[in-house]
Amino acid sequence: MNKKVFIVFFILFISISLLIITIFNTHGENYKEATINSVLIKGDTTRYKVKFVKKIDGDTIVVNFNNKDLKIRYLLIDTPETVKPGVKVQRFGPEASELNGRLLNNAKTIEIEFDVYQKEDKYHRGLCYVYADGKSVQEELLAAGLAEIKYVKPPDVRYLERYKKAQNKAKSNKRNLWSNS
């Protein structure tokens, strides 16, 4: 009899422990909400439709989000500089900027997606994944060898593995940034 009671309590204890762990992992300290342009951003996989306003360079754009302009800095990537004050135009910067603009100018639908924690950088730019007609703009820039993975700040790493695959393919094919010339 005592053995049966012990087993029941042990199973109950394990079940409650797993439930508590699940709750803390879902709503733990790495999850952060923010309000941007009067929209509550939860950091889930919600994609917000936006209107493309202009391209700044290879990894920064301006969109209209909830009837207000919002400058966006792409998450997890960096492209060579073309417009940074005091910095010369870097090799492959114009090409990255041109591809970024072409992807967005030709798209019928532009969407942005925030990650779980940091929603803005210190310059108040939205930190987002950007999609042109459902395709990841970051992934396209990485695959073309015109961007590299940078500024990786966990827990905002939702697509890091996908991006690594795109970058590694560009490296193995010696595309642009990864070429020897």
Whether 125 is catalytic is yes
- In our burial notation (b when 16+ CB lie closer than 10 A, e otherwise), range 59-71 reads bbbbbebeeeebb
Catalytic residue among 47, 98, 125, 175: 125
CA-nearest of 62, 64, 143, 129 to 99 is: 143
Catalytic residue among 73, 111, 113, 158: 73
CA-nearest of 95, 166, 151 to 121 is: 151
Q: How far is it, in rounded angstroms, from Cα 66 to Cα 107?
A: 19
Q: Are strands 135-136 and 68-74 parallel, antiparallel or unpaired?
A: unpaired
Q: What is the CB neighbour count within 10 angstroms for residue 125?
A: 17
Q: How far is it, in rounded angstroms, from Cα 40 to Cα 37?
A: 9
Catalytic residue among 29, 33, 47, 81: 81
> With contact defined as beta carbons under 8 Å apart, do 51 and 130 qualify?
no
- Per the omega criterion (within 30 degrees of 0), is the bond before 155 cis? yes
Q: How far is it, in rounded angstroms, from Cα 10 to Cα 2?
A: 12
Residues annotated as catalytic (active site), given as ranges:
73, 81, 125
